[in-house]
Amino acid sequence: RQVLISLTDAGRRLREKALPMNLVKESALAPDDFAKLQKAVVALRSNLIKSTKGAAK
């Protein structure tokens, strides 16, 4: 079973507009520091999601 999706014309324009942005460059962080920060943000998000699921019980 497959589901095919595609962007609308507006979605394609938005994608083209966003492509030039380089998050590492724009952050002014060294690539290693950016990667560490990104991992920390992902871990924080995961922990917050877990804690809210536990509080809902």
Tell me the pLDDT of the chain (57 aa) as tens digits: 889 999 999 999 998 887 767 888 889 999 999 999 999 999 999 999 999 887 765
* CA proximity to 24, closest of 34, 15, 16: 34
Q: State the pLDDT at residue 1.
A: 85
How confident is the model at residue 17, as a pLDDT?
Answer: 84
Beta strands of 1-57 (E only): which ranges? none
Whether the pTM exceeds 0.75: the reply is no
Given a contact cutoff of 8 angstroms between Cβ atoms, the answer to whether 24 and 31 are in contact is yes
